[in-house]
């Protein structure tokens, strides 16, 4: 699955390979309702969303949520999301891009902050699991950064060099995680962040997964 030192992509899942914006905004507003907050639009979400997630809630509440509030909102979010993700599909062109990257002798993996035990069967259900040398979801508490997860993910990939690895995601935190391990990043505007907020990360920003893969090929060469 890819020769030693070959180009490698670490894909994000939610908002990148998996086009789940409708489920995300619905789950967010369901969580907000638990605290009596007004619902927000997708545009507002993309302008305000940040990691760690409690900071996102702080932008809307004017304060950090208490531990009890966070637990209620987090549980509500994941319950609603699990119910509504079934209506979501892969991002346009994703299947073809994954197959082409693999057939060229390059490797790829998934690292997501979505819970691991939910992620693996979801990926398998789309029939794309064989394109990846590893699929990792979150195994600890929710709401944190991807950086330390990226350290463990790359350490588990035999023969993958950080210097020839590109992280493709839809959040500024994907760029932070890539930088943390010495990899490069390309950010995609179709998910949780606005273009303006992504550009602040100082890495290439693109509007399609096709552009992201083409850029990754250049950066990892």
pLDDT tens across 173-194, in order? Answer: 999 999 999 999 999 999 989 9
Averaged over 69-93, what is the pLDDT? 94
For the record, the structure tokens of 195 come out as 């273009």
Averaged over 14-24, what is the pLDDT? 96
CA distance 206 to 199: 10
Residue-level pLDDT at 5: 57
User: At residue 2, does pLDDT exceed 50?
Assistant: no
User: At residue 83, does pLDDT exceed 80?
Assistant: yes
Indicate the average pLDDT of the chain. 93
For the record, the structure tokens of 168 come out as 């493709």
User: At residue 4, does pLDDT exceed 60?
Assistant: no
Query: Beta partners for 166?
Result: 9, 184
pLDDT tens across 116-164, in order? Answer: 999 999 999 999 999 999 999 998 887 678 999 999 999 999 999 999 9
Query: Beta partners for 108?
Result: 9
Classified as helix, coil or strand, 114 is strand
Residue-level pLDDT at 49: 87
What does the DSSP assignment read for 54-86?
Answer: HHHHHHHHSSPPPHHHHHHHHHHHHHHHHHHGG
Stated pTM of the model: 0.91
Q: What's the Cα-to-Cα distance from 115 to each of 24, 25, 148, rounded to whole Å?
A: 14, 18, 15
């Amino acid at each position: 699955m890819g020769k030693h030192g070959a180009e490698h992509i670490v894909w994000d899942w939610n908002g990148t390979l998996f086009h789940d914006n409708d489920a995300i905004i619905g789950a967010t507003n369901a969580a907000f309702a638990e605290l009596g907050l007004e619902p927000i639009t997708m545009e507002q979400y993309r302008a305000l969303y940040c990691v760690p997630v409690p900071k996102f809630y702080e932008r809307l509440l004017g304060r950090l949520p208490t531990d009890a509030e966070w637990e209620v909102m987090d549980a509500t979010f994941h319950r609603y999301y699990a119910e509504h993700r079934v209506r979501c599909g892969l991002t346009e062109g994703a299947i073809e891009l994954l197959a082409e990257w693999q057939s060229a002798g390059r490797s790829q993996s998934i690292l997501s902050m979505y819970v691991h035990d939910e992620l693996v069967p979801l990926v398998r259900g789309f029939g794309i699991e064989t394109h990846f040398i590893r699929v990792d979801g979150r195994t600890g508490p929710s709401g944190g950064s991807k950086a330390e997860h990226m350290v463990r993910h790359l350490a588990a990939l035999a023969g993958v060099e950080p210097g020839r690895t590109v992280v493709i995601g839809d959040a500024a935190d994907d760029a932070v995680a890539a930088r943390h391990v010495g990899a490069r990043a390309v950010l995609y505007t179709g998910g949780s962040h606005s273009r303006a907020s992504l550009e602040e990360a100082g890495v290439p920003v693109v509007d399609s997964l096709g552009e992201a893969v083409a850029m990754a090929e250049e950066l990892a060469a």
